[in-house]
Structure 1
Amino acid sequence: MTTKGTALVTGASSGIGAEFARQLAAQGHDLVLVARSAPALEALADGLRARYDVRADVIVQDLSAPDAATRVAGECAARGITVELLVNNAGFGTAGQFARIAPEREHDELMVNVVALVGLTHAFLPGMLDRVAGGVINVGSTAGFNITPYFATYGASKTFVLNFSLALWSELRGRGVKVLAVTPGPVETAFFDRIGTRKAAIGARIATPESVVASALRAYESDRGYVVPGRGNLAMAHLMPRRPRKLIALIGRLVTRQVADELTPSVAR
């Protein structure tokens, strides 16, 4: 198979990240798989090489580390890898009453969801612009469209992902580089097990990683800027933000309170 270039996927050990790796390999991309779990990454890489005859490199890195982006970029350079597509998928959420959540976990959440995402984009985007080709896919959430009591830091981090992505999409128009924000609702991953309750879906339909990634890759090819997989999620994302923001905050509290009531402060990663 002729390669379509190398895609680097963070959070590739499971869930949406692993599915991005599978679908991109099926399209003919070589892969760089980044996450904390070496065994899971190696197993995925072995499967991709065997099934799709692509190169699949593994970089084990905790993206909450301050120098994570520099380390990942340096390892790619040392291996002679040029990254044509960056998929910033890694992320995790905290839930519960903000004052009772461990500050260290909130800090790590922002390091992964925001700082590493920006750092990796800084690391690989200049080369894409020099080549007048390539792209960045950032995985956000429908939470990024709204105000999310009891998911305060998580929701705010995903608002950053959405606005950052769309700003870059606008900046880079006509320069040969695509940027896409993927903003799914709840997805069938380990998120709910780790957060401690499936009520974190807030009553929304839970999508499959396969459908979310397929929707994302179609939108990326069309250079749409952002995509909200699922009709119900699309309606919520576009209708709610048009209401007064304090009203949305109060409504959000009523909707998400069930999660806080069930949980002692917990994290999903």
Structure 2
Amino acid sequence: MEKKTALITGSYGGLGTCFVNIHAGNGGALILVGRSQEKLNEQADTVKKQYSVEVHTIAADLSVPEAAQKIYDICRENHWTVDYLINNAGFGGQGDFARERTMEQDMSMIAVNIDTPTRLCKLFLPDFIKRGQGRVLNVSSTAAVMPGPLQAVYYATKAYVTSWSNALWRELQGTGVTVTALMPGVMKTGFANAGGLSDTKMFANAVDPMAVAQDGYHGMLKGALNVTSGLLDWQKPVVALAPMFPKKALLNFIYKQQIAGSAKK
């Protein structure tokens, strides 16, 4: 079997590390993308020693518009052929949109969660189509199916990711290229601490990200439309029935789940 190269953004984060280990464990080459060159180097060294695969790194700040073009240009200049594009990087953040969240926080979130993945697909997909093969995995969230008071922008960014990914899945039929949206539940990663959510009911019983990454990776290989994984028991009916819930009741429920300190109540 021909070994494939995966480009993974946010490679040294919780879910990103899982994707790296899964792909390297299959003997695939890697292009690791993250903000810190030091952390990328450490990860690359570890992966090379453990799996004996080819690993390249690209340090890029995904919150700036130039990031995607920089990543694409470096791949072209070095003749690195990307077979799998895993748009994993993303972040959230708790707080009242108008009274607590800063402009910079939310604009950076939109840039990382929406703008850069969109630009990367705009750049890499034509190459995939030309070769008649390629897989894209866009990490969305179960948050995509509902509005999220106290995480208003984050939930909205994931609604975009899922909707956009699904539309691309249909547009690409017959090309040999697929786009899959991974919609995880609540996971034990650095996401909760970074977003100020570790002390909320929503993150009180988070799941192991490796199982979620496995589901997403294999779903990507199969060209699945959406992969939902890692849901807690209470989340399953909420996610499945969210479109049918009375909207105001749903908003109140989600709001209470995300109040800091609610995990102890």
The alpha-carbon distance between structure 1 residues 192 and 174, as it changes in their structure 2 partners (threshold 3 A), is: same
Once residues 216 and 167 of structure 2 are traced to their aligned partners in structure 1, the CA distance between those partners, rounded to angstroms, is 18
Once residues 50 and 261 of structure 1 are traced to their aligned partners in structure 2, the CA distance between those partners, rounded to angstroms, is 43
2:129 counterpart residue number: 129
1:242 counterpart residue number: 244
Cα distance per residue 1:14-70 (max 9 Å; x no partner): 211111111011112110000011122111111221222211001000000111100
Structure 1 segment 197-212 matched on structure 2, within 5 A: 197-200=197-200, 202=202, 205-212=205-212
- TM superposition shift of 1:4: 1.8
- TM superposition shift of 1:192: 2.1
- TM superposition shift of 1:173: 1.8
Q: What SS is found at the alignment partner of 2:206?
A: coil
- TM superposition shift of 1:204: 6.2
AA at the equivalent of 2:214 = A
Structure 1 segments of 4+ aligned residues over 4 angstroms from their partners: none
AA at the equivalent of 1:38 = Q
Contact 1:192 1:200 in 2 (8 A): no
Match of 1:252 among 244, 248, 254: 254
Contact 2:64 2:111 in 1 (8 A): yes
Query: Which sits farther off after the overlay, 28-37 or 229-238?
Result: 229-238
Stretches of structure 1 lacking an aligned partner (at least 5 in a row): 263-269
Contact 1:98 1:152 in 2 (8 A): yes
Once residues 179 and 117 of structure 2 are traced to their aligned partners in structure 1, the CA distance between those partners, rounded to angstroms, is 13
Once residues 112 and 35 of structure 2 are traced to their aligned partners in structure 1, the CA distance between those partners, rounded to angstroms, is 12
Stretches of structure 2 lacking an aligned partner (at least 5 in a row): none
1:88 counterpart residue number: 87
2:60 counterpart residue number: 61
- TM superposition shift of 1:247: 3.9
Structure 1 segment 70-109 matched on structure 2, within 5 A: 70-99=69-98, 100-109=100-109
AA at the equivalent of 2:239 = A
Once residues 17 and 238 of structure 2 are traced to their aligned partners in structure 1, the CA distance between those partners, rounded to angstroms, is 27
Contact 1:88 1:117 in 2 (8 A): yes
Contact 1:135 1:177 in 2 (8 A): yes
The alpha-carbon distance between structure 1 residues 230 and 15, as it changes in their structure 2 partners (threshold 3 A), is: closer
Q: What SS is found at the alignment partner of 2:21?
A: helix
Cα distance per residue 1:70-122 (max 9 Å; x no partner): 01101111111111110000001121111121101111110000000100011
What TM-score results when the alignment is normalised by the length of structure 2? 0.92
Contact 1:241 1:248 in 2 (8 A): no
Q: What SS is found at the alignment partner of 1:181?
A: strand
Query: Which sits farther off after the overlay, 199-208 or 120-129?
Result: 199-208
Cα distance per residue 1:173-231 (max 9 Å; x no partner): 22211211111111111122222342346156311121111111222233221111035
Once residues 239 and 172 of structure 2 are traced to their aligned partners in structure 1, the CA distance between those partners, rounded to angstroms, is 24
Q: What SS is found at the alignment partner of 2:93?
A: strand
The alpha-carbon distance between structure 1 residues 203 and 101, as it changes in their structure 2 partners (threshold 3 A), is: closer
Matched, 1:24 2:26: no
- TM superposition shift of 1:239: 1.2
What TM-score results when the alignment is normalised by the length of structure 1? 0.90
The alpha-carbon distance between structure 1 residues 197 and 94, as it changes in their structure 2 partners (threshold 3 A), is: closer
Once residues 196 and 247 of structure 1 are traced to their aligned partners in structure 2, the CA distance between those partners, rounded to angstroms, is 24
Cα distance per residue 1:208-264 (max 9 Å; x no partner): 1211111112222332211110353444322112224344223323333x23989xx
The alpha-carbon distance between structure 1 residues 119 and 260, as it changes in their structure 2 partners (threshold 3 A), is: farther
Contact 1:150 1:260 in 2 (8 A): no
Once residues 130 and 235 of structure 1 are traced to their aligned partners in structure 2, the CA distance between those partners, rounded to angstroms, is 41
Cα distance per residue 1:140-171 (max 9 Å; x no partner): 11111111000000000011111111111111
Contact 1:142 1:237 in 2 (8 A): yes
Once residues 57 and 118 of structure 1 are traced to their aligned partners in structure 2, the CA distance between those partners, rounded to angstroms, is 22
